[in-house]
Amino acid sequence: MKLVSLALKNFRCFKDEKHVAFEDLTAIIGRNDVGKSTILEALEIFFNNDTVKIDSGDLCVSAGDQFAEITCEFDDLPDPLVLDAQAETSLAEEHILTTDGTLRVKKRFKCSGAKPKEEVYICALHPSADQYSDLLELTNSTLKTRLRSLGIDETDVLMNSNPSIRNAIWSHCPDLELAETEIPIAKEDGKRIWDKLSEHMPLFALFQSDRPSRDSDAEVQNPMKLAITTALAEPAIQQTLDGIVEAVRVQAVELAQRTHATLAKIDPGLAGDLTPQFKSDPKWASLFSITLDSEQGIPVNKRGSGVRRLILVSFFRAEAERRVSEGGECNIIYAIEEPETSQHPHNQKMLLESLEDLAAQAGCQVLLTTHSPGFASYLPISSFRFIQAGPDGQPRVEPAQTSTWEAMVDALGVVPDNRVKVLICVEGPTDVAALRALSNALHIADTTILDISSDPRVAFVVLGGGTLVHWVNEQYLKGLGRPEVHLYNSDVAKYRAQVAQINQRTDGSWAVQTNKLEIENYLHPDAIQEGLGVTIAFGDNDDVPSLMSAVKGWNANTVKKKLARHAFPKMTTARLQARDPNGEVEGWLRRIEAML
């Protein structure tokens, strides 16, 4: 199951219901105290109610009643849903999906007492017709009575299966009068369905920025606890644990039954009031503990905050590498408050790369908050959700769109570089990294060749999306008449007309398509081997990302990012000359330098 959106009502600063949509990577930005952390903490309450627990103080101070609501919407739903050996059904058959085919679960907390009471509802397009709206709340015997009272033929109905009886009843109705309904799931099959759905819910791990320095510091404990929880959620381990539970259950119930039989011989009256039952399964996660010990014997909580946060960076890098190499089978949501806190810019970059790698993996979502312009500048602009106070003082959550860019940039304090003299327009962010690495390699061997990796007179404009800093520079420079250089891959035929059009300009701009298929074809296989440990052979017109995908199982976007980050920096002048003997890349750089 994948988290699609969150809705909050009467929860802290969110009085009127507000919605937040989520992607694989979602960055929540805004000024201090506008509700960024509230969103992540609401999700923690919804999924775990552990690191952050709901209390009466979470009720919005201007709420009109005593109920705070947290609603999550999911897709990628389990189908079929097995309730038990006799009951297999689907969410669609039970009419508990929205009009969009998603699952929407609302948790309503009554905050009138010291400890809020939780009620759970599924919000769905559900039958509202009389005799057909309450079937999920009925017992098997009551369902049979309803079936017979409606005069429905029992021939093809499995009378020991509640889903089969419900399906027969609903199929009998000429108009179910489907309507948006809040279905309570506190009893009977509603509860059984919710219990099964809960097993498919993604794991949610919250890493907060404001933490005390103590031995149980969450900066160390949270990653280690999540490592245990993730391991326990893997199907192979879960199957083993289920076998242990079942073996203990059989032995315990058998002993209890023997005890009950003996008691019946001694006091039949007392025995008649007692029934052996296996009350609950063990909480496996609480049985395991992992610690990180310093070689010098210095407690981790006595180290600097940057070191403690570096443990978090290391955890995400390790988890990203594990998910890529092994493939995780359980869905996980990683939520991180201000990941850049107390980190050197180099570590911030490593963390961002790890989070992007995680978000690209199947079953992973990454949610983060930030108000650091340096960190935010290199996030993809499609990931942003901007929070700001509205005219009524309540927070407004807006997606990444043209109307909000300027407000976002202003809130973050991202500024353009006014030293730029030439714009280099490319297709995507990985092209930027590739060209910078190639120019740096050539410059090291020949300082007369322009190094665009460090020259402030050159700025990149990413035409196919890109990051916030690219957008800022593009918007700032759009009307300043700077000459443009357009470098496109040759694998897209439609660019030919654009190249021809740009080359007809008289403002000094020019355009070219690569002689090879795309920029990745200028890599040397040795650079890929050194950077990623992958041995691969390819020609000038081979699709390198696709070949890598076949070898490693990564998707194309992940391959491009990994090549840009790890292979292109391993390029040397000798390696580039071997792949580009005619000096095509050097020619581009010489021509750009002549424009400065």
Please report the DSSP string for 332-362 in residue order: EEEEEE-TTTT--HHHHHHHHHHHHHHHTST
- Predicted confidence (pLDDT) at residue 107 exceeds the cutoff of 90: yes
Q: Each residue of 325-383: pLDDT tens digit?
A: 665 557 889 898 888 776 677 777 777 877 888 888 778 899 999 877 767 777 777 78
The residue that leads in pLDDT, 119 or 238, is 119
pLDDT at residue number 418: 65
- Predicted confidence (pLDDT) at residue 196 exceeds the cutoff of 70: yes
- Predicted confidence (pLDDT) at residue 72 exceeds the cutoff of 60: yes
- Predicted confidence (pLDDT) at residue 473 exceeds the cutoff of 50: yes
- Predicted confidence (pLDDT) at residue 319 exceeds the cutoff of 80: no
Give the residue extent of every domain in the chain.
2-26+54-201, 422-593
pLDDT at residue number 92: 94
Q: Name the phi and psi angles at 483, rounded to 5.
A: -65, 150
User: Average of pLDDT values for 423-438?
Assistant: 91
- Alpha carbons within 13 A on the beta-carbon side of 57: 3
Average pLDDT, the chain: 83
List the beta bridge partners of residue 182.
123
Closest of 472, 467, 459, 338 to residue 410, by C-alpha: 472
- Predicted confidence (pLDDT) at residue 301 exceeds the cutoff of 60: no
167-181, 212-226, 359-373, 451-465: which range is least confident on average?
212-226
pLDDT at residue number 370: 85
**Token pair belonging to 213:** 């320095």
Number of other residues whose CB lies within 10 A of the CB of residue 425: 20
Dist. CA 164–CA 86, nearest whole Å:
10
Percentage of the chain lying above the pLDDT 70 cut:
77
- Predicted confidence (pLDDT) at residue 175 exceeds the cutoff of 90: yes
How distant is the alpha carbon of residue 2 from its chain centre? 8
- Predicted confidence (pLDDT) at residue 276 exceeds the cutoff of 60: no
348-357, 430-439, 502-511: which range is least confident on average?
348-357
pLDDT at residue number 214: 39
pLDDT band at 456 (very low <50, low <70, confident <90, very high): confident
pLDDT at residue number 303: 54
Q: Name the phi and psi angles at 570, rounded to 5.
A: -90, 0
Residues contacting residue 31 through CB under 8 Å, at least 6 positions apart: 371, 388, 411
Dist. CA 222–CA 354, nearest whole Å:
17
90-99, 278-287, 525-534, 575-584: which range is least confident on average?
278-287
Amino acid at 123: C
pLDDT band at 577 (very low <50, low <70, confident <90, very high): very high
The residue that leads in pLDDT, 539 or 347, is 539
Dist. CA 44–CA 28, nearest whole Å:
16
pLDDT band at 47 (very low <50, low <70, confident <90, very high): very high
Number of other residues whose CB lies within 10 A of the CB of residue 162: 26
Q: Please report where in the chains the tokens 């199947």 appear, as a residue.
A: 362
232-241, 428-437, 533-542, 563-572: which range is least confident on average?
232-241
User: Average of pLDDT values for 165-182?
Assistant: 95
The residue that leads in pLDDT, 459 or 218, is 459
Length in residues, the chain: 596
Closest of 427, 439, 436 to residue 584, by C-alpha: 439
DSSP per residue, 466-490? -BHHHHHHHHHHTTTT--EEEEE-T
Q: Which residues of 122-149 are buried (b: 16+ CB within 10 A; e: fewer)?
A: bbbbbbeeeebbebbbbeeeebbebbee
Contact 469, 457 (CB under 8 A): no
DSSP per residue, 260-304? HHHHHHH-HHHHTT----------GGGG-------TT---GGGS-
Q: Each residue of 111-159: pLDDT tens digit?
A: 988 899 999 999 999 999 999 999 999 999 999 999 999 999 999 999 9
- Report CA-CA distances (Å) from 349 to 55, 379, 458, 467: 37, 10, 21, 14
- Sheet harboring 2-9: ordered strands across? 18-21, 2-9, 67-75, 103-110, 117-127, 178-184
Question: How many H helices and E strands in the chain?
Answer: 19, 18
pLDDT at residue number 366: 93
- Predicted confidence (pLDDT) at residue 299 exceeds the cutoff of 60: no
Q: For the whole model, what pTM was predicted? A: 0.70
pLDDT at residue number 240: 83
Contact 242, 371 (CB under 8 A): no
pLDDT at residue number 182: 96
pLDDT band at 215 (very low <50, low <70, confident <90, very high): very low
User: Average of pLDDT values for 577-587?
Assistant: 97
- Report CA-CA distances (Å) from 202 to 21, 33, 48, 153, 408: 16, 28, 11, 41, 30
- Predicted confidence (pLDDT) at residue 256 exceeds the cutoff of 80: no
- Alpha carbons within 13 A on the beta-carbon side of 23: 16
How do 384-389 and 395-399 pair as beta strands? antiparallel
- Predicted confidence (pLDDT) at residue 227 exceeds the cutoff of 70: no
Strand, helix or coil at 78? Answer: coil
User: Average of pLDDT values for 452-472?
Assistant: 73
Dist. CA 26–CA 369, nearest whole Å:
9
**Token pair belonging to 238:** 């879960």
The residue that leads in pLDDT, 263 or 132, is 132
pLDDT at residue number 391: 84
Instruction: Please give the sequence-ordered ranges of beta strands (E in DSSP) within 547-593, or none if there are none.
Output: none
| DSSP assignment letter at 392 | T
DSSP per residue, 217-258? -HHHHHHHHHHHHHHHHSHHHHHHHHHHHHHHHHHHHHHHHH
Percentage of the chain lying above the pLDDT 90 cut:
44
- Predicted confidence (pLDDT) at residue 53 exceeds the cutoff of 80: yes
The residue that leads in pLDDT, 589 or 206, is 589
Amino acid at 357: D
End-to-end CA distance of the chain: 52
pLDDT at residue number 211: 46
DSSP per residue, 31-44? STTSSHHHHHHHHH
The residue that leads in pLDDT, 258 or 386, is 386
pLDDT at residue number 359: 85
13-27, 93-107, 454-468, 579-593: which range is least confident on average?
454-468
pLDDT at residue number 250: 77
How do 422-426 and 458-462 pair as beta strands? parallel
pLDDT band at 77 (very low <50, low <70, confident <90, very high): very high
